[in-house]
Amino acid sequence: MSTISIPVRTPALTYNVEIGSGLLPFVGGRVDALLDGALSAGKAKVFVVTSPEIARLWAAALLAGFPTPPTVLSIPAGEQYKRFATLETLLEQLAEGGADRDTVLIALGGGVIGDMTGFLAAIYMRGIRYIGVPTTLLAQVDSSLGGKTGANLAAGKNLVGAFHHPLAVYSDIDVLATLPAAELRAGLQESVKAGIIRDRALFEYLDTHSDKVLASDPAALTHVVAASVQVKADVVAADEKESGLRMLLNLGHTLGHAIEAATHYKQLLHGEAVAWGMLAAIAIAKRRNLITVDEHDRMERVIVAYGPLKRFEADPAHLVALTAKDKKNRGGNRSFVLPTSIGTSAVFKDVTLDELTYTAERMMAMVARDGVA
Ligand SMILES: NC(=O)c1ccc[n+]([C@@H]2O[C@H](COP(=O)([O-])OP(=O)(O)OC[C@H]3O[C@@H](n4cnc5c(N)ncnc54)[C@H](O)[C@@H]3O)[C@@H](O)[C@H]2O)c1
Ligand SMILES: O=C(O)C(=O)C[C@@H](O)[C@H](O)[C@H](O)COP(=O)(O)O
Ligand SMILES: [Zn+2]
């Protein structure tokens, strides 16, 4: 089996994101080796956190590779469960199951499972280790690395959490075969984002290979996952805690997160909300002459190609009001990520309420006109 390993370098540790087909049955052995044989020696317990549907599809292949059977904890699927109530249930289950400071958690699932398992690992006994086994395209290209973990509040997206990196990430491209098409498309919007902010070659690839990518061609998906992970690994290495450069990974998220909160995390997938947020951001960039009309139209075409852009209900003024909760805001100023070309971007602290209102109203007009039911 040939795999690609991409290191994520942080001040405290360096870990690898391993990407390949047929990786799942080998994860147990790799984790045991990473822990110097602690699993086979019975010195560390493993808890796999997942959801019933993912467990049905992929848990057997993962569990078979462990020297001793891990305990499986299951939570319902969906963004609306990325909440404290779910975490509390899991924390009690860890304690009842005898998890201790040597325990290792495995996140088997998409970004919701990954963000919550990472947060569990950050707070259980003040911090234990975890491993990512991402099963959605979104989690493979973005959420499984970088150490942002957390949960949502009614007031806003990801308003609680901790920076806590995994020990390693194992991305098996084969698991994407069972992913619903809408989830694949939503995840690919984070790759489009990575291309727009920092990697023109990735953007061009997504533009010119959309047929193969959307048909889940394994070679095409492997390329997209590896290139997206490289973008994120480079950004995280330069700015782990998001004091500057890392904000670029938030392109489309200022309004995207506002849409998710306004719709109570129920109407759109995260990547679908980010797609609308990116359309809004490129509209501001065009209006400011940061990008040419041609660049704008090409970005718009690629975002739409990886759509469909789903309809949702929200009041533009409410969306703008929700951006006040954005974690990137500092000293009363909003930080807004805008592209400056295809493959470059910057953080702007002078985006006005008028610009936000213009773009939110324009976006809601597009939702009404072009949004897919
Ligand atoms: N921490 C980060 O850096 C970061 C980055 C991007 C997104 N996120 C977060 O990630 C979350 C979105 O993640 P997501 O898009 O993976 O959604 P998700 O975790 O909700 O998973 C999507 C759906 O796909 C199902 N599923 C997962 N794998 C499957 C498979 N292989 N086959 C069939 N079904 C499968 C899940 O059960 C779920 O119903 C959001 O909460 C977002 O905020 C975090
Ligand atoms: O890793 C990052 O940094 C990102 O911003 C990646 C985003 O795709 C992701 O949705 C992240 O969860 C957003 O984090 P937040 O800090 O804006 O809540
Ligand atoms: Zn995101």
Q: What is the C-alpha to C-alpha distance for residues 194 and 244, in angstroms, rounded to an integer?
A: 16
Q: Which residues are catalytic?
A: 126, 148, 190, 232, 242, 246, 250, 253, 257, 270
The tens digit of pLDDT for each residue in 328-370 reads 998 878 899 999 999 999 999 999 999 999 999 999 999 999 8
The tens digit of pLDDT for each residue in 204-246 reads 999 999 999 999 999 999 999 999 999 999 999 999 999 999 9
Residue 33 is predicted with a pLDDT of 98
Name residues whose C-beta falls within 8 Å of residue 280's C-beta, 6 or more positions apart in sequence. 252, 255, 359, 360, 362, 363
Yes or no: is domain 4-178 CATH 2.40.50.140?
no
Residues of the chain with CATH 1.20.1090.10: 181-370
- ipTM of this model? 0.99
- Model confidence at 78, pLDDT cuts 50, 70, 90, reads very high
Contact assessment for residue 68 and residue 42, using Cβ atoms and an 8 Å cutoff: yes
Q: Can you say which residues are annotated as belonging to the binding site?
A: 111-115, 135-136, 148, 157, 190, 253, 270
Q: What is the mean pLDDT of residues 112-122?
A: 98
The reply to whether ligand 2 has any atom less than 6 angstroms from the CB of 296 is no
Count CB neighbours of 200 within 10 A.
13
Q: Is the pLDDT reported for residue 1 higher than 90? A: no
What separation in Å is there between the alpha carbon of 110 and the centre of ligand 1?
Answer: 3
Q: What is the C-alpha to C-alpha distance for residues 291 and 297, in angstroms, rounded to an integer?
A: 10
Residue 330 is predicted with a pLDDT of 84
The tens digit of pLDDT for each residue in 175-189 reads 999 999 999 999 999
DSSP run (H or E) holding 187: helix 181-198
Q: List 257's β-bridge partners, or say none.
A: none
Ligand 1, pocket-test mutation among 8, 51, 138, most atoms within 8 A of CB: 138
Yes or no: is domain 181-370 CATH 1.10.1530.10?
no
Q: What is the mean pLDDT of residues 243-263?
A: 97
- Model confidence at 155, pLDDT cuts 50, 70, 90, reads confident
- Model confidence at 373, pLDDT cuts 50, 70, 90, reads confident
Count CB neighbours of 66 within 10 A.
19
The pTM (predicted TM-score) of the whole model is 0.98
Q: What is the mean pLDDT of residues 130-152?
A: 98
Q: Is the pLDDT reported for residue 4 higher than 90? A: yes
Q: Can you say which residues are annotated as belonging to the binding site for Zn(2+)?
A: 190, 253, 270
The reply to whether ligand 2 has any atom less than 6 angstroms from the CB of 362 is no
In the chain, the percentage of residues whose pLDDT exceeds 70 is 100
Q: What is the mean pLDDT of residues 58-81?
A: 96
Residues with CB under 6 A from ligand 1: 51, 53-54, 57, 77-79, 82, 109-113, 115, 135-136, 138-139, 142-143, 146, 148, 158, 175, 178-179, 183, 186-187, 190, 269-271
Residues of the chain with CATH 3.40.50.1970: 4-178
Name residues whose C-beta falls within 8 Å of residue 11's C-beta, 6 or more positions apart in sequence. 240
What separation in Å is there between the alpha carbon of 373 and the centre of ligand 1?
Answer: 21
Ligand 1 atom nearest residue 53's Cα: 37
What pairing do the DSSP bridges indicate for beta strands 46-50 and 104-109? parallel
Q: Is the pLDDT reported for residue 156 higher than 90? A: no
Residue 192 is predicted with a pLDDT of 98
Q: What is the mean pLDDT of residues 7-32?
A: 97
Q: What is the mean pLDDT of residues 100-124?
A: 98
Q: What is the C-alpha to C-alpha distance for residues 320 and 305, in angstroms, rounded to an integer?
A: 26
Q: Residue whose CA is closest, atom 6 of ligand 2?
A: 249
- Model confidence at 105, pLDDT cuts 50, 70, 90, reads very high
What separation in Å is there between the alpha carbon of 148 and the centre of ligand 2?
Answer: 7
Residue 325 is predicted with a pLDDT of 87
The reply to whether ligand 2 has any atom less than 6 angstroms from the CB of 246 is yes
Closest to 313 measured CA to CA, from 268, 269, 281: 268
